Amino acid sequence: MAKIIPFKAVRPTPDKVSLVTSRSYDDYGAAELASHLEFNPFSFLHILNPAYVNQQKLGWEKRFKLVEHKYQDFKNEGILIQEESPAFYLYEIHSNRHTFTGILAGTSVEDYQKNIIKKHEDTLQYRVDLFKDYLHETGFNTEPVLITYKDNPALSDWIVNKKKSRPVYEFSTTNKEKHILWSVSDSEEINWLEKQFSEIGTLYIADGHHRSASSELLYEENKASGNVNLNYFMSFLIPDSNVKIYEYNRVINDLNGHSKDDFIKKIAKNFVIKTKKQELWKPRHKFEFGMYLDGEFYALRLKEEQFSFKNVLERLDAQILYDTILHPILGLGDLRTDERIAYVPGTKSITSIKDMVDGGEFKVGFMLYPINIEEIKAIADLNMIMPPKSTYIEPKFRSGLVVYEL
C-alpha cells in the first residue's frame, strides 16, 4: 500500500509565477544564469544561487544559509505565499515534444525504506550527504522526485474531469513550454486520491534517486524531533505510459592505447560492424549501437547468438556496451566516477556527439537505443541497479513552482 499525503505548499503569487519559476539550476550556463539574475529580480534562481558572484569563495554551509535567508526574503516580500490548508496538485506540462500530466504529493519515507517505492539506480554517498545538508540548512525542497505508477483508468478519468475546472496557474515560458496547475484541496477528493494510491501498491522512482535517498537520511538523523514533514518527500506522480525515456549516449577521451584498426578488430568479436561514413546514424532497435570514430559513423549489431543472458540487467544495452567494449577494451572502471567518460542525453542532436569528437577532446562516441519503462520496473522489482546514466527521463520540473517545506 503506497501512502501519499497533501501538504501546505509554498508557491508564487499568480501574477508573478512566470517570472519566479525557472528551469533546474544546473541547466543554466554561466552567461545565461548571470543574465537571469541581473534582469529578473523575481527569479527563483536568486534563491538557489544567492551569492553567484562569490560562490566559489563560500563554504557549503554558508551558501546554504544564504539560500535559506533569500527564501525567507521572498516569503516576507509576498513573492511566495503558503497555502492555508494541505492540498494535492494536478500539474500539466506542454512541451514542443510531449504533454505530461501528474499529481504532486508527499510520498512516504517509510514506503521508500520498505521498497514500496522502488529504485533502479545507485547513488553517490557524497551527493546524498550534500543534498541532505542542503535540506537541513534551507528547510525546503522545490524539486520533486519523479515517480511512476501503473496506468489506472479511474485516476485517468479523474484527471480528465479535474482539468475542466479552473486552474490556479496557466502560463508559458521562454523555452516555449506551457504549464498548468490545479489545486486539489477538497477533503473528499483528497480522501479519494489517497485511497486510489493505497490500492496501487507499488511505485517506481524514475528520476530523483539522490533526492529520495537524501530525504531518507535526513529523516533518520532527525526523526526524534517530531517534525512530521520529514516523514515525506515531495514527488510528481505520473502514469507509466506518460513518462518519456531517452537514452544517455557516451563519449570517451581515448582508445586506451589501441589503434583505430585494432580497436575495431576487437569490437568485431561481439558485433557486426557496418560503416555508415557521414550518415548521421543512430540505433533503431535494441542490441544496436551507433559509433562515431575518426570522422565516420558505424552501425554495430550485437551477435546475440554468442550471449546467454541470465537476467534483464544483462540484456540492457547500456550494460552490454559496458561489458563488451567500455570495460574490457577501453578499460573504464566505475562509470559514476571515471573521468575519461562523459554523457550526452538523447534529447540532444547526434551532431553534438560528432562535434565533441571532432573537436579533439573525445576520441570515440557511442549512441544507444532507449530503455523502456518495463525494463526499468523489472530491474527495480529484482532489486538490481542499472548502469549509471542509462536513462534521461522527462518531464523535468520547474524550480519554484511548488515548494515543500521541511
Lowest mean pLDDT among 16-30, 204-218, 262-276, 311-325: 16-30
Per residue in 91-104, pLDDT tens?
999 998 899 999 99
Residues 304 and 329 in one domain: yes
| Domain contains 352 | yes
Q: Is 102 helix (H, G, I), strand (E, B) or coil?
A: strand
Residue 55 has a pLDDT of: 57
- Residue 266 is part of which domain span? 248-369
Q: Evaluate if residue 315 carries a pLDDT over 80.
A: yes
Residues 257 and 155 in one domain: no
| Domain contains 34 | yes
Residues 178 and 228 in one domain: yes
Span 9-21, average pLDDT: 97
Span 114-138, average pLDDT: 95
| Domain contains 288 | yes
C-alpha cell at 46: 536568486
Q: Which of 176, 194, 103 is nearest to 402 (CA)?
A: 103
Residues 201 and 108 in one domain: yes
pLDDT over 70 percentage in the chain: 98
H-assigned helices in 230-270:
260-267
Span 198-223, average pLDDT: 96
Show the CA angle centred on residue 368, arms to residues 365 and 371, nearest 5°.
Answer: 150
CA-to-CA separations, 65 to 30, 48, 136, 372, in angstroms, rounded: 22, 11, 10, 40
Residue 43 has a pLDDT of: 95
Residue 316 has a pLDDT of: 96
Residues 191 and 177 in one domain: yes
Residue 265 has a pLDDT of: 97
pLDDT confidence band for 57 (50 / 70 / 90): low
| Domain contains 271 | yes
Residues 164 and 101 in one domain: yes
Sort strands 232-239 and 99-108 into parallel, antiparallel or unpaired: antiparallel
Q: Evaluate if residue 53 carries a pLDDT over 60.
A: no
The region, left, alpha or beta by phi > 0 then psi within -120 to 50, assigned to residue 139 is left
Residues 6+ apart with CB under 8 A from 130: 60
The size of the chain, in residues, is 406
Residue 184 has a pLDDT of: 98
In the block, cell 577532446 appears at 361
Residue 33 has a pLDDT of: 86
Going by the DSSP 8-state scheme, the letter that residue 44 receives in this structure is: T
The region, left, alpha or beta by phi > 0 then psi within -120 to 50, assigned to residue 288 is beta
Question: For residue 395, is the peptide bond before it cis, meaning its omega torsion is within 30 degrees of 0?
Answer: yes
| Contact indicator for 34, 51 with CB cutoff of 8 Å | no
Q: Evaluate if residue 381 carries a pLDDT over 90.
A: yes
Q: Evaluate if residue 58 carries a pLDDT over 80.
A: no
Residue 138 has a pLDDT of: 97
Lowest mean pLDDT among 27-41, 74-88, 232-246, 253-267: 27-41
Residues 6+ apart with CB under 8 A from 76: none
Q: Evaluate if residue 19 carries a pLDDT over 60.
A: yes
| Domain contains 376 | no
Residue 261 has a pLDDT of: 97
| Contact indicator for 397, 27 with CB cutoff of 8 Å | no
- For the domain that residue 130 is a member of, what is the CATH number? 3.90.1530.10
Span 325-349, average pLDDT: 95
In angstroms, the CA 78 to CA 96 distance is: 32
The region, left, alpha or beta by phi > 0 then psi within -120 to 50, assigned to residue 327 is alpha
Residues 120 and 255 in one domain: no
Residues 237 and 291 in one domain: no
H-assigned helices in 104-201:
109-113, 125-138, 153-162, 187-200
Q: Is 21 helix (H, G, I), strand (E, B) or coil?
A: coil
C-alpha cell at 251: 563519449
Q: Evaluate if residue 79 carries a pLDDT over 80.
A: yes
Residues 27 and 162 in one domain: yes
H-assigned helices in 268-372:
312-315, 317-321, 350-358
Considering the entire predicted model, what is its pTM?
A: 0.94
Residue 372 has a pLDDT of: 95
Going by the DSSP 8-state scheme, the letter that residue 305 receives in this structure is: G
- For the domain that residue 254 is a member of, what is the CATH number? 3.30.1760
Encoded amino acid at 405, one letter: E
Per residue in 227-285, pLDDT tens?
999 999 999 999 999 999 999 999 999 999 999 999 999 999 999 999 999 999 999 99
H-assigned helices in 108-152:
109-113, 125-138
Going by the DSSP 8-state scheme, the letter that residue 7 receives in this structure is: B
CA-to-CA separations, 47 to 44, 118, 143, 397, in angstroms, rounded: 5, 31, 13, 16
Residue 351 has a pLDDT of: 96
In angstroms, the CA 6 to CA 135 distance is: 20
Residues 194 and 59 in one domain: yes
| Contact indicator for 343, 362 with CB cutoff of 8 Å | no
How much is the mean pLDDT over the chain?
95
Q: Evaluate if residue 24 carries a pLDDT over 90.
A: no
Residues 182 and 277 in one domain: no
Q: Evaluate if residue 355 carries a pLDDT over 60.
A: yes
CA-to-CA separations, 327 to 56, 80, 105, 283, 330, in angstroms, rounded: 35, 49, 41, 21, 6
| Domain contains 381 | no
| Domain contains 378 | no
Residue 54 has a pLDDT of: 58
Residues 208 and 254 in one domain: no
| Contact indicator for 321, 368 with CB cutoff of 8 Å | yes
Our count of domains for the chain comes to: 2
Cβ-in-10-Å burial (0-12, 13-18, 19+) of 315 comes to middle
| Domain contains 375 | no
